[in-house]
Amino acid sequence: MCQVDEEYNGQLEHRVTPRVSKKCVKCKENTAVLIIRAGDAFCRGCFKEYFIHKFRAMLGKNRVIFPGEKVLLAVSGGPASSSMLSQVQEGLSRDAPKKLRFVPGIIYIDEGGASGQSMEERERAVAQLESVFRATNYHYHIVHLEQVLSLPSSVLEAGSSATEKPQTGSSYKAAVDQFIQTKKNQHPDFSVENAQSHLSSLSMQKVENGVTSPITPEHTQALQRLFASVRTLTAKEDLLYTLRQHLILHTARTQGYTKVMMGDSCSRLAIKLLSNISLGRGASLATDTGFSDPRYGDVVIVRPMRDYSSKEIAYYNRMFDIPSVFIPGLDTKAQDKASIQHLTESFVTKLQTDFPSTVKAFLLTLKNTKRKMPRVPVHLCERALGMLQGCMRIADVARAINCKTPKIALHGDRTDS
């Protein structure tokens, strides 16, 4: 092997290492500072414009949120939800060219009681998040997970969707015109330019913020006993997700919010897609990972961050100093095989590292799924309803196979079909 160069005398072909362009692919002038995908190098200014435009385009394309609606932002302190909060602030600022026209609020679910955190650690995390929330001047709600033990049973019932506006372009434009006309009738000097300042004043009113109700050691102990009775980490994470959804839904209903924004990125949704299939919830994939989830009737869940990868969010937060708070969860420092959700996350993350189109390919499969709202005469848990649909589909397939396949006798003699 040491005589290769001498024998071939330089006739071997040398592999040329591909070099990334040093110029931004958008403006073609500034020096690129980051690479999102292969061949997509952006400068600082163009990347910010690209990131903001993607958020606005997602909301404008779907047109689910109407002017004047109260929207609850579910912020966990992580990178994705913190970036979502920053995008809402950017869209509501007076310098924005196309301002958002809804009234935002923030909710944070304190899950320290389930993950075994001490009260001092929980108070420290809440204090850090409160400083971020106060800087936005939005009304915020800090809800402890222990409060789920005192929720009414009506939280499982789907609310009436009679007041929900149809999601069409003409109805959205009519809602905008009606909003502006109403304000003009109330205030003759009202104009489109000061519409956003009026909406911003609604969210900046001096209202009572903070923790909705105090918790007691008895509530924390009851919550810990509940999670201790669950044996596997897979079931614990599933239980935590269900309780979190119930608290967010209850807060939205009691405080008058009609939309809830979740900070699920496309990377997180790809993990959720495979996890739900593994847990037998394939029937509800369209609503669990789509842009909007109207299953609850009076409250619609939207996911405006579903087109962002975790890499894009990390770059944006790093470059523009978006604050985030790390809060340990149930699966922190757990092994890959500790739960189905954690194993799926490890699998998708490693696969995405070697094949950058993995997450995008997973989400493209969702376009072939159709959302079918179930009509069940009784009120069922959303989780149980998804399991019920899956079992019914399996039964239909088995019945069809049984009708088409010739019956086999016990002794191997073929009977008449």
Beta strands 210-211 and 34-37 are unpaired
- pLDDT of 282 reads 84
Backbone angles phi, psi at 339, to 5 degrees: -150, 165
Residue with tokens 């008449």: 416
pLDDT score recorded for residue 408: 35
Rg (CA), the chain: 26
Six-digit token string for 198: 């009026």
Classify burial at 11, counting beta carbons within 10 Å of its beta carbon; exposed 0-12, middle 13-18, buried 19 or more: exposed
CA distance 340 to 348: 12
pLDDT at 174: 60
| pLDDT attached to residue 167 | 46
Distances (CA, A) of 201 to 92, 98, 104, 188, 362: 11, 18, 11, 18, 41
Distance CA 85, CA 73 (A): 7
User: CA–CA separation, 147 vs 127, rounded Å?
Assistant: 19
- The span from the CA of 331 to the CA of 99, in Å, is 39
pTM: 0.76
Report the SS3 class of residue 301.
Answer: strand
Secondary structure letter of residue 145 according to DSSP? G
- Return the CATH class of domain 63-369+380-402: alpha beta
Q: Are strands 139-144 and 210-211 parallel, antiparallel or unpaired?
A: parallel
Q: How does pLDDT run along the chain (417 residues), one tens digit per residue?
A: 556 555 655 555 555 554 555 789 888 888 999 888 777 889 999 999 999 999 999 998 888 999 889 999 999 999 999 999 999 999 988 676 678 889 999 999 999 999 889 999 999 999 999 999 999 999 999 999 999 988 877 666 666 653 444 444 455 556 555 555 665 565 555 444 454 444 444 443 334 566 556 778 889 999 999 999 999 999 999 999 999 999 999 999 999 999 999 999 999 999 999 999 999 988 888 888 889 999 888 899 999 999 999 999 999 999 999 999 999 999 888 898 999 999 999 999 999 988 888 898 888 877 776 665 555 443 445 554 444 444 444 445 444 444 444 443 333 344 443
Give the Cα separation of 107 and 354 in Å (integer): 36
pLDDT of residue 324: 94
Start-end of H helices in 296-364: 310-319, 340-354, 358-364
